[in-house]
Amino acid sequence: ICVPTLFLLMSVIFSLHYLGLLFSSKSYIPEFAVVCFIFASGVGWRYAFLKECRNDINVNYVHNFCTDIYTFWIHPLIHFLLPQRSAAFSMPLAICITSLLILAVDSHLKDKKIVFLAGLLMGMLPLLSAHTYIAVGEYAIFICLLFFPFKQPTKWVSTVLYWSVFGFTALALSIPQVIWLLRVPRHGFMTFQAICLETFPGKFTLRKFFKLWWDSLGSFVFLAFLPSMLLMTRRQQMIYLPSIGVFLVSNFICYQPGAMDNNKVFFAGWYPIACLAVSNFFWCIIRNARKNAIFIYCVLGLVFFSFIFGSLVCIYKAAAYSFPLFERSDMNAGEWIMENSRKDTTFLCSWWHSNTA
């Protein structure tokens, strides 16, 4: 872990907390959303009852459940934010842009400085993370459509002009970056295929879709949809619905050859507001618990523990154990390859990231 990533993690937490303040004025909802963001995981904990899984050093109950048993989801802290990857730099920007778009809607599309600033931040994203650029772009399109005054033709022109400030600013900055990125031929990008088929090959079925997300986020993903929507205000629903649009679209488009890279889209365009939705659900249930309050608190505690246990193990293993990518012999082989081969040399080798070639 390097110092810059710790500052990035702090900026993600602060920006998510601010987004929570925009989402709800109720106490503790933003704070609990941060907890959900860091600790939400799936049902990998059920493999803890199998000795061969407990003894496997690579098992973390978030992504790797047991030997050759894994799921789509990766841990937001251990697998995504703390490793040195450019996508980590884009996360605070993504959450800030989402916050600015919400502020724009709350201003009744009057303050153009808000969308201009959002466009400036959006324009920085392509070279930081193309996935985040796609996620925020999808959220922006959905929120524009959701709040577009279709039944008031007199407002059409002013609404289009308002959102154009955001769109043209973002495009003016991002198009040159996109052109530069496209200078190299790429294969397998932007394919229309359900991401669950990478984990469960074969024909797409709803069972595979639901199993993928149940394994990945367990009770969290269930609460993030229907139960939480029922306890939201109208404004909160309108803020959350665009992120559900990002979630649904990104379940059926592979933005890179590996479907697991779609996690970057979910982290930027759906997961932060989903954490707020679940946090709001817990707050509403606890706040309104009257009869059988102790029983309700116990049930909520069990539900909460069910989707954080895997993360607790994952964080503990990452902190307690060392996972070197290379042995000394591998390092020596890699140094020999660098010194004795051209940069365009072709090797027949494993595809794994830690391969020395």
DSSP per residue, 97-124:
HHHHHHHHHHTTS--HHHHHHHHHHHHT
| Under 8 Å between Cβ of 273 and 19 | yes
* 326: its two tokens: 């290379």
Residue 56's pLDDT is 86
- Give 191's strand partners: 254
Query: What is the residue-level pLDDT of the chain in tens, covering all 357 positions?
Result: 567 778 888 899 999 999 999 999 898 999 999 999 999 999 998 998 888 888 888 888 999 999 888 888 988 888 877 776 777 788 999 999 999 999 999 998 899 999 999 999 999 999 888 899 999 999 999 999 999 999 999 999 999 999 999 999 999 999 999 888 888 777 767 889 899 999 899 999 999 999 999 999 999 999 999 899 999 999 999 999 999 999 999 999 998 888 888 999 999 999 999 999 999 999 999 998 888 899 999 999 999 999 999 999 999 988 888 777 677 888 888 889 889 998 888 888 877 766 777
Q: How far is C-alpha 36 from the geometric centre of its chain's CA atoms? A: 12
Give residue for tokens 């193990």.
313
Residue 211's pLDDT is 94
CA nearest neighbour of 232 among 183, 193, 282, 185: 282
Cβ-proximal residues to 230 (8 Å cutoff; 6+ apart), any chain = none
Burial class, 41, CB count within 10 angstroms (exposed 0-12 / middle 13-18 / buried 19+): buried
The pTM score is 0.90
